[in-house]
Amino acid sequence: MTSQTSTEYAKYYVPEKSKLAVCATIGLVLSIFGAASIMNDMTFGDPGQETSSWTIFLLGLFFFIATLFNWFRITIKENIAGMNSAQLKKSYVLGMFWFIFSEVMFFFAFFGALFYVRVLVGPWLAGEGEGGRMNGLLWEGFSFSWPLMQTPQEAVGGAGAQLIANNGSFTSANTSLSFNDAHAWWAWLPLWNTLVLLSSSFTCHLAHMGILNGNRSKFNFWLAVTVLLGMIFLGLQYMEYHEAYVEYGLTLNAGIYGSTFFMLTGFHGFHVFMGMTMLLIQLLRSVVGKQFTADDHFGFEASSWYWHFVDVVWVFLFLFVYIL
């Protein structure tokens, strides 16, 4: 260990002063302030009153995205200029890995909520076990099944008949999006979505094989297919949401089934959008900028990890939201 002299050790690049952090903060704080104001206008505000919430939000968001764009541009330039030692590259690898882990934990919270409701809360509200006493007192007549097609509120005769404080009106859907309620397997969108997303993980892997072999056209082709599949997924999800809202009456107000359904699939869809954007940028970097080599393509690799992560989340969603 002592034989390691300092000259053998490549210098770790520590950037000098940078305005990125302060700019990103300004953008971020403006956009959250704007977003919170928009929601408060919507829920508590006076509908006739003009506010500048949207302006603040969009301005902040634009500035934030522009800063991030610039931030990534600078790091890419540094890498191309050869400033990144192998050790620094490993820092980026670790950073991406633990970022994805934090995303896993974010979904864990919502899956946890889903399981808690399905396994414990539902039966309790329906009168089962020690926790079931509230059924006779507050929710008489409520019985539990999943997907929940009648909320406790509806069971007692609507928001007006409810014995405890009214915090909204929760009207169930008439049909769920579960497999059991599908009229035909081929008309069941989640199945197609699963096929699309699983094959996109496969094409993403093919793209990776392409760049590893130094075959840029193969890389570009399969990456473009992956991005396209991502878009198809989002298109199908849009159709599904439309169907849910318009035909099935499955909305955010449809009780806990609607809440968990939209929370899980919505955040997943948002992550698909993010992953797709990341991959699209890598595609543009390769097509326009001729960037990436067989042994230096971390921008793509990180995006592909993210893409596989999104795919794995979908497998769990498919299982626990749509099938079981």
Partner 1 sequence: MGDHHHGPAKGLSRWLFTTNHKDIGTMYLWFSFAMFILGGFFAMIIRAELFQPGLQLVDPAFFNQMTTLHGLIMVFGAIMPSFVGLANWMIPMMIGAPDMALPRMNNWSFWILPPTFLLLASTLFMEGGAPAAGWTFYAPLSTTYAPPSVTYFIFCIHVLGLSSIMGSINIIATVMNMRAPGMTYMKMPLFVWTWLITAFLLVAVMPVLAGAVTMMLMDVHFGTSFFSAAGGGDPVLFQHVFWFFGHPEVYIIILPAFGVVSQIIPAFSRKPLFGYDSMVYATASIAFLSFIVWAHHMYTVGMPVAGELFFMYATMLIAVPTGVKVFNWITTMWRGALSFETPMLFCIGFLVLFTIGGFTGLMLSIAPADFQYHDSYFVVAHFHYVMVAGAVFSMSAAVYYWLPKWCGRMYNETMGKTHFWISFIGFNLTFFPQHFVGLAGMPRRIPDYALQFADFNMMSSIGAFIYGASQILFLYNVIATIVAGKPTSEEKVWDGAEGLEWTIPTPAPYHTFETPPKIDPAHAHS
User: How many of the other CB atoms lie within 10 Å of CB of 303?
Assistant: 25
Shortest CB 292 distance to partner 1, Å: 22
CB 263 within 8 A of CB 110: yes
Question: Could you say which residues in the range 166-205 bind partner 1, by CB under 8 A?
Answer: 166-168, 170
What are the φ and ψ backbone dihedral angles of 293, each rounded to 5 degrees? -130, 175
The interface with partner 1 within residues 22-61 (CB under 8 A) comprises 22, 24-25, 28-29, 32-33, 35-36, 39-40, 42-44
Q: In the complex, what is the shortest distance from the CB of residue 324 to partner 1, in angstroms, rounded to a whole number? A: 17
Site for partner 1 in 75-114 (CB under 8 A): 87-88, 90-92, 94-95, 98-99, 101-103, 105-106, 108-110, 112-113
* Contact map string, positions 154 to 173, toward partner 1, x by CB under 8 A: -----x--x-xxxxx-x---
Per DSSP, the three-state class of 158 is: coil
Q: Does 136 bind partner 1 (CB under 8 A)?
A: no
Strand partners, 293: 296
CB of 184 to partner 1, least distance (A): 29
Binders in 7-26 for partner 1, by CB under 8 A: 9, 11-12, 14-22, 24-25
Question: Which residues does 146 contact at the CB level (< 8 Å), separation at least 6?
Answer: 118, 122, 257
String marking each residue 259-278 x if it binds partner 1 according to CB under 8 A = xx-xx---------------
Residue (of 43, 143, 39, 113) closest to 261 by Cα position: 113
Q: Quick one: CA dihedral 148, 153, 159, 160, positive or negative?
A: positive
Structure tokens at 314: 């979908």
